[in-house]
Amino acid sequence: MTKPKVLIVDDEVDFLEALAERLSSRGIEVHTANDGITAVKLASKEKFHAIFLDFAMPGLNGIETLKLILSQNPNALIYLLTGKASLKDGVEAIKLGAKDVLEKPIELNQLLDVIERAETEFTIQLEQQIKESISSILRTKGW
Amino acid sequence: MDKFDEELLFVNKIISGVTHELNNIFSTLNEIAGSLEDYFDFHQENSIASENIKKKINKIQLQIDRGKNLIKAFNQFSHQTDSTSKTFNLSDFIQQTILLHRYFANQKGVKFEIDNLDVPAYVTCNEFQLSFTIHKILLEIFKYQFETPTIEIKIQKEGIEFRANVSLNDPAELEGFTKDLNETVSEWKIICQFSFTNSLIKFHIIVSNWS
């Protein structure tokens, strides 16, 4: 069984390092980025079970990063992590395709639950894609 | 907007900015304290020195919790004037608020059935306060386990008031749901009532449509 793989994006380096360390020690493969552009590049190269984006970042903010990642991969499971979001921001994020908006600081157990659920959803998505590919191949073969 | 409101809005914006920065600091401290605690948990250090350090970490975490509570209070305050007595469509608003509760609803397997929310229902009130009230009510509901959970939501106009009715379809599981929450926030004229019958729970959010 493969490790859950997540990407966490936050401009607070110390927060990012400490959170990554805690998740890694619980068997999660954690990738980090300090800004939106790096996050978009990483997300285009690798598939993650879940991506956690800080809302307020210099340069690309959480919403802009969310849009760019989803434009590359509409199935990406993205969560906004924030200490400041207003109702309007939260609604906008979810309408754009975020899975959820989580309040920062988040309890570690809550975050682990989210990762577990994202991993399950990711697997279901993958199985669905495989089924569709097989069906498509079978159809072209006339079966 | 009068001068006092403008000043309050200005103060709230400053508090909101400062709160955001404080929240970043406390979030970082929270994770660092958690990392230290992990170190002792994973390495099974049992010396007196490590016990003392663990006690100190617990104290740091208690202070972080105090800071977090303070931030919550500041956040609540700074969002108060986000939309002072603004006119908006209650139907859209409830749909948006419910959208934000998908996380909790998914956890509980709760489905929402929304009836007649396509009809615009314009109300004038404090948006933040209303959202907070609905949020509190939904969280109360989510505390309970339901066999076949569906929450039905309807909006009706009664006189000058709009009434949002919410009912749950599984009364069997509601034993012990005796909390009687009546909250009146007279400043914004939002009255939140929980009423209970043998067969269902209802709540009414009455938004006085005054300016």
- B81 — phi, psi (to 5°)? -100, 15
Alpha-carbon span A33 to B186, nearest angstrom: 47
Of A22, A84, A101, the CB nearest to B23: A84
Answer with the residue of higher pLDDT: A116 or B124.
Answer: A116
Q: Give the percent of chain B with pLDDT over 90.
A: 0
Q: Give the pLDDT confidence score for residue B180 in this predicted structure.
A: 36
Residue B67 has pLDDT above 80, yes or no: yes
Alpha carbon dihedral B31, B34, B36, B39, in 10-degree steps, equals -120
Contacts of A108 in chain B (CB under 8 A): 34
Residue B174 has pLDDT above 90, yes or no: no
**What part of A 36-95 touches B (C-beta under 8 Å)?**
56, 83-84, 86-87, 90-91, 94-95
The predicted complex's ipTM stands at: 0.76
Question: Does A22 contact B35 at a Cβ distance shorter than 8 Å?
Answer: yes
Residue B206 has pLDDT above 60, yes or no: no
Q: Give the pLDDT confidence score for residue B210 in this predicted structure.
A: 37
Q: Give the pLDDT confidence score for residue B39 in this predicted structure.
A: 82
Residue B22 CB-density burial (10 A; 0-12 exposed, 13-18 middle, 19+ buried): middle
Q: Average pLDDT for residues B167-173, to the nearest whole number?
A: 49
Q: Which of A34, A8, A3 is nearest to A108 (CA)?
A: A8
Q: Which of A119, A143, A122, A121 is nearest to A3 (CA)?
A: A119
pLDDT tens by residue, B68-92:
777 777 776 666 555 456 677 777 7
Preferred mutation among A23, A81, A84 to probe B, highest tally of B CBs within 10 A: A84
Answer with the residue of higher pLDDT: B71 or B118.
Answer: B71
Only one residue has tokens 């690798």, namely A46
Q: Average pLDDT for residues B140-150, to the nearest whole number?
A: 63
Of A18, A84, A94, the CB nearest to B100: A94
Query: Using 50, 70 and 90 to split pLDDT, how confident is the model at B18?
Result: confident
Output the CA–CA distances (angstroms, integers) from residue B27 to A29, A51, A105, B76, B103, in the order listed.
Answer: 21, 18, 5, 18, 21
Residue of A nearest to B129 (CA): A87
- Report the predicted TM-score, pTM, of the whole model to 2 decimal places: 0.64
Q: Which of B198, B195, B202, B166 is nearest to B179 (CA)?
A: B195
Q: Average pLDDT for residues B133-153, to the nearest whole number?
A: 66
Alpha helices in chain B (DSSP H): 3-43, 48-78, 90-100, 102-108, 127-142
Q: Give the pLDDT confidence score for residue B184 in this predicted structure.
A: 43
Q: Give the pLDDT confidence score for residue B167 in this predicted structure.
A: 60
Question: Does A94 contact B102 at a Cβ distance shorter than 8 Å?
Answer: yes
Residue B133 has pLDDT above 80, yes or no: no
Question: Does A18 contact B97 at a Cβ distance shorter than 8 Å?
Answer: no
Query: Using 50, 70 and 90 to split pLDDT, how confident is the model at B144?
Result: low
Q: Give the pLDDT confidence score for residue A45 in this predicted structure.
A: 93
Q: Average pLDDT for residues B42-62, to the nearest whole number?
A: 78
Residue B186 has pLDDT above 50, yes or no: no
Only one residue has tokens 């608003």, namely B93
Q: Average pLDDT for residues B163-191, to the nearest whole number?
A: 45
Residue B17 has pLDDT above 60, yes or no: yes
Residue of A nearest to B16 (CA): A84
Q: Which of A62, A14, A55 is nearest to B32 (CA)?
A: A14
Query: Using 50, 70 and 90 to split pLDDT, how confident is the model at B105?
Result: confident
| CA of A136 vs chain B CAs: smallest distance (Å) | 32
pLDDT tens by residue, A108-121:
888 998 999 889 88
- What average pLDDT values come out for chain A (143 residues) when binned by 10 residues? 89 91 94 95 94 90 94 92 70 84 83 90 84 83 76
